[in-house]
Amino acid sequence: MNKGYLSLVLHGHLPYVRHPEHDDFLEEDWLYEAITETYVPLITVFEGLVRDGIDFRLTMTLSPTLTSMLTDGLLQERYLKHINRLIELAHREIERTKYDSRFNILAQRYLDDFKHARYIFEKYNRNLAAAFRSFQDLGKLEIVTCGATHGYFPLMDICRESVRAQVKTAVTHYESVFGRKPRGIWLPECGYQPGHDEILKESGIRYFFTDSHGILHGTPRPKYGVFAPVYCRGSGVAAFGRDLESSKQVWSSIEGYPGDFNYREFYRDIGFDLDFEYIKPYIHPDGVRINTGIKYYRITGSGDHKEPYVSDWAREKAAEQAGNFMFNRQRQAEYLHDFMQRKPLIISPYDAELFGHWWYEGPMWIDFLIRKISCDQDELRLITPSEYLEENPRNQVITPSMSSWGWKGYSEMWLQGSNDWIYRHLHEASNRMTELARTYRNTNGSLKRALNQALRELLLAQSSDWGFILGTGTHTSYAVQRTRDHLLRFTRIYEEIKSNSIDEGWLADIESKDNIFPAIDYRVHQ
């Protein structure tokens, strides 16, 4: 008999980056890197578990922007080109390193990995969203939705129509990709503002996640802390709080798993390390060095000196840390079970892209963890939030506290000197969009297209990623441009609609560029 439950939640998200006007656009690499290093390895882990008859449960967000990119023909075509170029580079690397077995064996591994990524990509007809869907259809994976473009909801509270548009557009899009309604949502950046649960309820969403203090500082005080869901007062939508202890074990900069000295060093990429003339064909045509994904060193220690990566050592370490993670959750569940007189639920959410992209061994760690939980013990069981609610329908009613999982736990990451200027414009655009949706209730032809495109531009401007990048203060020009471009496009459409002078040629041009959510309906912005 199990003592408690663990919900692993992977939040998969990337902002919408698609530039048909450029042949080779650097920021599109965010997607290509994540496909090769995170999404394909996760799909491979899931396939292996199903093949071996391991019954598992995992919860995953695939944000609407991410699924839109994964199902976009142009980006699929470009990914294939990208992976083929990497395969070519890996072949060259095998040749270059042939007299040094330490590197040669790794070059061979990269070649295998890249070929495998291409194989998986083609196996699912280039559509990795369909791959994830297949595991949901098997009942192993629960895919939750997210804000349509990952807008940060607490800073949209002044214009809740935008929160509603983010949620409703996401839900409609989810249905078109996954063939059913989403049960849960990952609020972008885990950003919760009391009252937004009402909007979730309108869309049929049963639950969402908050950071620990979202529940712990809720009113009244939650009897079971974050170890049982609560229902939001008024809406009855369930909220699940993050367990900080399990998060810290993975994320912490000191004792966090990814920092182990046997693991692969993220910052030593041959795109930067090797001779410029040699690497030139595989970096950006403008000569900008980039991460290729081929990295030969392990973290080694805290200094600059790095030793070659040894796959077996890293694998052993991943297995050991999976065991350690499971052991700690078992103890946690055991203690909580006695204390609560009820089976506790431990929610462990992570950025999906942590696994594989940043923490190379992450997918392997998940694989070990799931197998160990399934085969080595019976104190802990994996569960999805909806299954837990089915099993435990009676829960406390509270109003969770405004919170996020960002820096300092609230809105400061997205609201500081470097990015606060965007809200004046975003809020104005939201108000104007509400005005348009109220004014033009039934439309067709180019007016309808213009209204729909106006909402696309507004949603794209709202991505929290732009505010995040601006907040980090490094390499901000792309985030500034995207914010400005979408807002300017929105404003132009607004003015053209108001003056009844829609420039159809220009409209068609931006429809083809910012082509996200083909079935969008501007009337949701109310």
Within 141-170, which residues bind other proteins (CB under 8 A)?
154-155, 157-158
Residue 117 CB, nearest approach to other proteins (Å)? 18
Residue 125 CB, nearest approach to other proteins (Å)? 26
> Which stretch, 20-28, 45-53, 54-62, 113-121, contacts other proteins (CB under 8 A)?
20-28
231 is a site residue for other proteins (CB under 8 A) = yes
304 is a site residue for other proteins (CB under 8 A) = yes
> Which stretch, 99-107, 166-174, 334-342, 466-474, contacts other proteins (CB under 8 A)?
466-474
In this structure, the number of other CB atoms found within 10 A of the CB of residue 391 comes to 11
> Which stretch, 95-103, 107-115, 331-339, 392-400, contacts other proteins (CB under 8 A)?
392-400
Residue type, 501: S
| Of 412, 503, 504, 509, the one binding other proteins by CB under 8 A | 412
Instruction: Determine the 3-state secondary structure of 201 from DSSP.
Output: helix
Binding mask 34-73 for other proteins (x = CB under 8 A): x---------------------------------------
Residues 196-215 that bind other proteins (CB under 8 A): 212-213
| Both structure tokens of 149 | 């473009």
315 is a site residue for other proteins (CB under 8 A) = no
Q: Are 239 and 192 in contact (CB under 8 A)?
A: yes
Q: How far apart, in whole angstroms, are the C-alpha atoms of residue 486 and residue 481? A: 8
List, in order, residues 6 or more apart from 28 with CB less than 8 Å away: 17, 18, 19, 75, 78
Residue type, 136: Q
4 is a site residue for other proteins (CB under 8 A) = no
Sign (positive/negative) of CA torsion 168, 485, 81, 362? Answer: negative
Number of residues assigned to the chain = 526
Q: What is the dihedral of CA 461, 464, 465, 471, to 10 degrees?
A: 110
Residue 185 forms beta bridges with which residues?
Answer: 145, 208
Q: Of the two residues 268 and 523, which places its CB atom closer to other proteins in the complex?
A: 268
470 is a site residue for other proteins (CB under 8 A) = no
Q: How far apart, in whole angstroms, are the C-alpha atoms of residue 27 and residue 32? A: 9
Residue type, 119: Y
| Of 107, 250, 380, 433, the one binding other proteins by CB under 8 A | 250
**Upstream peptide bond of 344 is cis (omega within 30 degrees of 0):** no
402 is a site residue for other proteins (CB under 8 A) = yes
List, in order, residues 6 or more apart from 459 with CB less than 8 Å away: 148, 149, 151, 165, 166, 169, 516, 517
Binding mask 255-294 for other proteins (x = CB under 8 A): -x-xx-----xxxxx-xxx--x-------x-xxxxxx---
Residue 502 CB, nearest approach to other proteins (Å)? 19
Q: Of the two residues 332 and 411, which places its CB atom closer to other proteins in the complex?
A: 411
> Which stretch, 171-179, 310-318, 420-428, 444-452, contacts other proteins (CB under 8 A)?
420-428
Q: What is the dihedral of CA 151, 155, 160, 162, to 10 degrees?
A: -30
74 is a site residue for other proteins (CB under 8 A) = no
Closest listed residue to residue 298, CA positions, set 260, 271, 270: 260
Residue 182 CB, nearest approach to other proteins (Å)? 17
| Of 302, 442, 499, 500, the one binding other proteins by CB under 8 A | 302
List, in order, residues 6 or more apart from 421 with CB less than 8 Å away: none
Q: Of the two residues 49 and 192, which places its CB atom closer to other proteins in the complex?
A: 192
Q: Of the two residues 194 and 363, which places its CB atom closer to other proteins in the complex?
A: 194
Residue 139 CB, nearest approach to other proteins (Å)? 15
499 is a site residue for other proteins (CB under 8 A) = no
Residues 324-363 that bind other proteins (CB under 8 A): 350-351, 353-354, 357-359
Residue type, 507: L
Q: Of the two residues 375 and 397, which places its CB atom closer to other proteins in the complex?
A: 397
- Return the exposure string of 66-85: e unless at least 16 CB atoms fall within 10 Å of the residue's CB, then b: bbbbbbbeebbebbeebbee
